Amino acid sequence: MALETVNTNAQEEQPFEDTVVKIFRCSKVVKGGRRFSFAAQVVVGNRAGRVGIGYGKANEVPLAVEKAVKDAKKSLHTISLVGRTIPHQITGKYMSTKIILVPASPGTGVIAGSSARAVLEYAGVQDVLTKVIGSTSAKNVVKATMDGLLKLRDKEMVESLRGVEVEPVKRW
C-alpha cells in the first residue's frame, strides 16, 4: 500500500508528458484501390530521469498514437543524470545506427536531431552533444538513443559495482 501511495505522489509532482516522434503510413493495394494503415512512434517522460518509448499500429492515426502511448508507459526506464547533463560519454547502438552522446557544459542545450532530441528532452537531459553515425531512420535513432541512456552509470553505481571509491575527472 505504501508503495502505491509513493508512486501516485511522484506522478502528481512530475506528470508524464508524451510527444509523437513520427507517424508512418503504410498502404496496401486492394481491388477497390488503396487501403492505408498507420503506425506511430511516441516518447513518454517526466523530464526528470524517467523515459520510455512506444510503437503502435492502427487503421487511424489517433488510435495508433493512443496505442503507442500505452506501450511507452509500460516501458518506462530511470536514467542516471548529473545535474542538467549525462554523467559520461557513451555510444548507443541499434542495428546499423550508432549515436554518440557527449556531456556538455551548462547552457549548451540539446544539440541533436529531432528523433534523438525528443528522447533526451523527455528524459530530462538539458545539456548534451550528439552525433548519429550510420542509418538516420527515426525508429533506429530513437532506439539507439534509449540504448545509450540505459548504459549510463553514475558515480555511486560504479563505486558499488567495483567496491572502491571513484574520483571524477575535472574537465572544465
Strand 110-111 and strand 128-134: pairing? parallel
In tens, the pLDDT along 4-14 reads 434 444 444 57
Nearest Cα neighbor of 120 from 43, 41, 40, 13 is 43
C-beta atoms surrounding 55 within 10 Å: 19
pLDDT at 89 over 50: yes
pLDDT at 96 over 60: yes
> What pLDDT score was predicted for residue 159?
80
pLDDT at 162 over 70: yes
Strand 77-78 and strand 50-58: pairing? antiparallel
Distance CA 45, CA 33 (A): 40
In whole numbers, what is the pLDDT of the chain averaged over residues?
Answer: 88
Higher pLDDT, 96 or 2: 96
In tens, the pLDDT along 42-55 reads 999 998 989 999 99
Q: What residue ranges define each of the domains in the chain, with the CATH number in brackets?
A: 2-77 (3.30.160.20), 80-162 (3.30.230.10)
14 by Cβ neighbours in 10 Å (0-12 / 13-18 / 19+) ranks as middle
> What pLDDT score was predicted for residue 2?
41
DSSP 48: S
Least confident of 73-77, 79-83, 159-163, 164-168: 164-168
**Cell, residue 37:** 494503415
**Locus of grid cell 563505486:** 159
Higher pLDDT, 171 or 143: 143
pLDDT at 166 over 90: no
Q: What does residue 73 show for φ and ψ, rounded to 5 degrees?
A: -70, -25
